[in-house]
Amino acid sequence: MPKPTDPSLTTLADSAFRQAAARVVRRAKETGTPLIVWERDRVRTIPPDEVRERTTDGPASSAVPLPG
């Protein structure tokens, strides 16, 4: 049985997703590659110079990179 202080699988997955998203944003900026994101029920292309990471906590879907 897990200890009460052990992070849940959901918490671990959310953390991994956020770390991966940060790496994607960093790599896009380094290579000049646009990001393709799902936003407001649409696919959107964001140029690398307009990308920033959302810092608010929320559901995983809100952790996608947003225009800056």
Amino acid letter, 61: S
**What is the band of 48 on the pLDDT scale with cuts at 50, 70, 90?**
confident
- CA–CA distance, 63 with 39 (Å, rounded to integer): 11
pLDDT at 2: 58
- Kindly report whether the global pTM for this prediction surpasses the value 0.75: no
Question: DSSP characters for the chain?
Answer: ---TTSPPHHHHHHHHHHHHHHHHHHHHHHHTPPEEEEETTEEEEE-GGGEE---S---GGGGS-EE-
What's the alpha-carbon Rg for the chain, to the nearest Å? 14
